[in-house]
Structure 1
């Protein structure tokens, strides 16, 4: 029988692929001999073997992070088939694995499959205007890597900022901008934010716009984006002197007109919110340790109402005003449906 050969490159280059992704690359394999032959592709560490068909038990041959399909095929003289290589990287590194192509006449050829896994790497090159860090006391998303601030402006006026973002990956990256709003809350002194408790929701106010909103970032190139800020209404509170108000008039009507709570109620509201955060796990540990759930031997309605056990205090002033004493009293006085609220938003409103 005349010999037959398989024409396939010795190095199969799969290029780059994102970690966690899958890339399919096709190569041609041709029988350049003068007779038909059966070919089997196996990882090099599995050869030699006594029988080709015992190696090709599946349709593909796998040596992570690569797989080849088909692993067993028959070619007539001059016939060409497509060999598909699957690349599924799990680390940001270059990978190289050896496979062996074996013919049924025991001709052997080693091939190398190479590829590189990459992570998404985007770089904010520049922002028009000067870069402003967060001011003290400003509520902002601590999980965000960059802060782009627009200056205060009148409703329906337009401000623009140009951002240049660079794609540092050797791959095209499709993008689609979506404006999300995090549920941010002021932090207490010594309290650290937990990213797992921050939830993002699509905004519906439409005050921020990005152009282009969708497209493809070319490999290792820069892309310019236009950010637009157009407020629909003023979100600040403007206080102006109230006519016919004298110096010693009562402040309650003014507070009602501004939708502000009296000082005593504001304190009770703040304590109640902190208590809710302690019970549902979003408060710092040093506050949680000050509260004790109320347990009862009897099975009654109170056992399922998230009640707290008030501590015994000796002083009516300093003792009752402490958080460990004031919090259970205010919390137990709330209705059941408020104590059962799982989120701060539903509890506050």
Structure 2
């Protein structure tokens, strides 16, 4: 995925340079809109595939998001984390988790494409257990650590099991409330 990460970073920095040239002449809201449509869209496109990539590749994409924050806030602070926190942006690593969890919810809800739904299997114990009420998923076995542990079925089940039980109770939530609960949970994980 190194070539993909390099291509994403290159296209994002191209847009950032162009927006940086006009930044003194636009408002903060206009800057946010431009960054969201021209830069964040590149970071988010297909980012579920970027789950589990190397730390150096993730840091490269995180630098792009940090540059976004510097451009919005018109600051050159070395510690950009408070700015990203105040903008309520999930770090790059958590954005891919968010996307995978959205696909998982839709697969369980029946609104995802069939090829994704077949990878997600709800856990049904053979006898009555307390874990029945936790809305768990079956974690498939993988043959390889490098690629097998990054497959959608395994990652989706693992991330789903790490969610708080009140967030993943599908009977009580709609997609909008699920999105809000997941983003809140991931935001707490990222900035606590």
TM-score by length of 2: 0.52
SS in 2 for 1:240: helix
Aligned to 1:36: none
2:154 aligned residue: 325
Unaligned 5+ segments in structure 2 are 1-28, 30-44, 47-68, 181-192
Paired with 2:81 and 2:143, the residues of 1 have a C-alpha distance of: 34
CA contact (8 A) 2:139 2:157 kept: yes
Counterparts of residues 95-114 of structure 1 (less than 5 Å): none
Structure 1 241/347 Cα, relative in aligned 2: closer, same or farther at 3 Å? closer
257 and 285 in structure 1: CA distance in 2 versus 1, 3 angstrom threshold: same
- After TM superposition, the structure 1 = structure 2 runs for residues 43-122 of structure 1, keeping only pairs within 5 Å, are none
Greater per-residue helix proportion? 2
For 2:73 and 2:80, the matched residues in 1 are separated by: 12
Instruction: Kindly indicate whether residue 75 of structure 2 is the aligned counterpart of residue 243 of structure 1.
Output: yes
Q: 1:250 to 1:300 in 2, by over 3 A?
A: same
Partner residue in 2 for 1:229? none
What is the CA deviation profile of residues 226-281 of structure 1, one whole-angstrom value per residue up to 9, with x for unaligned ones? xxxxxxxxxxx9x5353352xxx244233213211101111111111111111111
> What is the aligned-residue RMSD (CA, Å)?
2.6
Distance in 2, matches of 1:275 and 1:243, equals: 38
Structure 1: distance between partners of 2:75 and 2:122: 51
Task: Say if 2:143 is the partner of 1:311.
Answer: no
Once superposed, which parts of structure 1, at least 4 consecutive aligned residues long, lie more than 6 Å away?
Answer: none
CA distance in 2, matches of 1:325, 1:313: 8
Match of residue 168 from structure 1: none
Q: Distance in 2 between matches of 1:346 and 1:260?
A: 18
CA shift, 1:309, in A, is 0.5
Q: Which whole-Å CA distance do the structure 2 matches of 1:326 and 1:336 have between them? A: 18
Q: Distance in 2 between matches of 1:312 and 1:280?
A: 24
The 2-side partners of 1:336 and 1:269 are apart by: 16
Number of matched pairs: 113
Q: Deviations over 1:268-306 (max 9, x none)?
A: 111111111111111111100111221212212212332
Distance 2:156 2:108 in 1: 11
TM-score by length of 1: 0.30
Partner of 1:344: 175
1:135 matched to which residue of 2? none
- Which is bigger in relative contact order (C-alpha 8 A, separation at least 6)? 2
User: 1:177-256 maps to which residues of 2 (within 5 A)?
Assistant: 239-245=71-77, 249-256=78-85
Matched residue SS, 2:72: coil
Aligned equivalent of 1:195: none
Q: Which structure has the bigger radius of gyration?
A: 1
Higher normalized strand content (fraction of residues): 1
Question: How far apart are residue 340 of structure 1 and its match?
Answer: 0.9
